[in-house]
Amino acid sequence: MKIEYIDNKLIIYLRNSFFKNYDIKELTKDIKELFSKLLYYYKIELSGLYEVMIYDNKKYGSILEIIKKEDLFNPNVIDIKLKLFKDKDFYFKTNDFFILSSYNNIYYDNNDYYININNIDDINKVIEFGNILYNKKDNYLISKYFIK
């Protein structure tokens, strides 16, 4: 698990997602358990109303964007609104060509190299040398070059 805090968003990268299924009630339960783990292991205290976007990719796992929407009257209460994006295309971005030199379908732009992670044999070998792009905003310009 990798955790980042960017632009008032808590972003959690979950390799080999722990979600059991995509039933909303089960997902909500899993997210609340994750919130408990964030408090227990990382001392990240969450309370209030949150919007949680789950971006899921079969090869990578899941990435969660957690955005606090408002405080609630009871500071010990967590309420979440889920948005699930299943089977999304994730792209790997790096500035080192040699990491991806053995692959086809590489896109180059502004000193960075991009590849759909579905085209990478073992993502674990390269993951530490770049970033995963997962949301619509990041992938819009890249994905148009990968459309066949």
Percent helix / strand / coil, the chain, rounded to 5? 30, 35, 35
The 10s digit of each residue's pLDDT in 70-129 is 988 887 788 889 998 888 889 999 999 999 999 988 988 888 999 999 999 988 889 999
Question: In the structure encoding, which two tokens stand for residue 88, read together?
Answer: 């999304």
Residues 80 and 95 reside in one and the same domain:
no
Residues 130 and 57 reside in one and the same domain:
no
Which H/E stretch holds residue 50? Answer: strand 48-57
Choose the final residue of a domain: 39, 66, 85.
85
The 10s digit of each residue's pLDDT in 4-44 is 998 889 999 998 776 777 788 888 888 888 888 898 898 98
What is the phi-psi region of residue 20: left when phi exceeds 0, alpha when psi lies from -120 to 50, beta otherwise? Answer: alpha
Choose the final residue of a domain: 38, 66, 85.
85
- CA pair distance 16, 36, nearest whole angstrom: 20
Domain that holds residue 141: 91-146
How does DSSP classify residue 36? H
Residues 81 and 125 reside in one and the same domain:
no
